[in-house]
Amino acid sequence: MTRIDAKFADLKSRGKKAFVAYVMAGDPDFDRSLEIVRGLPGAGVDVIELGLPFTDPMADGPTIQLAGQRALEGGMTLTRTLDLARAFREQDQETPIVLMGYYNPIYSMGVDKFLPAAKEAGIDGLIIVDLPPEEDIELCLPAQDAGLNFIRLATPTTDDKRLPRVMQNTSGFVYYVSITGITGAAQAEAADVRPEVERIKAAADLPVIVGFGVTTPQKARAIAEVADGVVIGSAIVNKIAGGESTEDVLRFVASLAEGAHSA
């Protein structure tokens, strides 16, 4: 059982919904990023999604793109991202970390080198947005053999014919992208999300966490009421981009977590 599996089992036993927070590793710099990440569990975050900076983030909107650019300009790499996770684990051995990004940096390092390094650094799961199920042999299956969850995205355009293939070999949880388009592009609506969550849960016995288009505590609660939890990224990254202090960023995160946990 991974930390992700254990976390969702615990939340379910307590009748609680999950709050997942996304931040870009190395944004605005390594030290500040580590400070923020270390503060997330205390702000109520159940699972940390750690963005892996990449030069061509095709699924991300301007907010996440610029965060990745800032991180890359500051010297952030895949190796440094694992260093950040390793430093986080010096103080926290319980909070799950999901590494979210694109396959190119992993391919460049080499899967055989990356997987043991990620496991040793304390990474618990992967969301690699540009690897479809047809490429499971590339990373998904080796990752699961190494003890990492491989978390798949489902979208409004994932029809009933495609859904079983998408759910095959998925573990940890399913990330439902509530809108079509890029991150930060529109607002998620609970009425639209509910039937999609039910459809996914009928196809996979896994928690369904909803992301994209959630920006406020009120929206977090509304979405968490119809899913197993909610992911928020762009709204948090915007606070970091605006130069707000770590305390203010974490205060905002705490308000989002309170919204999700009140569902």
Which residues are annotated as catalytic?
49, 60
CB 153 within 8 A of CB 204: no
Q: Which long-range contacts does 179-182 make (Cβ < 8 Å, 24+ apart)?
A: 179/212, 179/213, 180/155, 180/156, 181/61, 182/59, 182/60, 182/61
Name the CA dihedral angle for 142, 145, 148, 152, rounded to a multiple of 10 degrees: 60
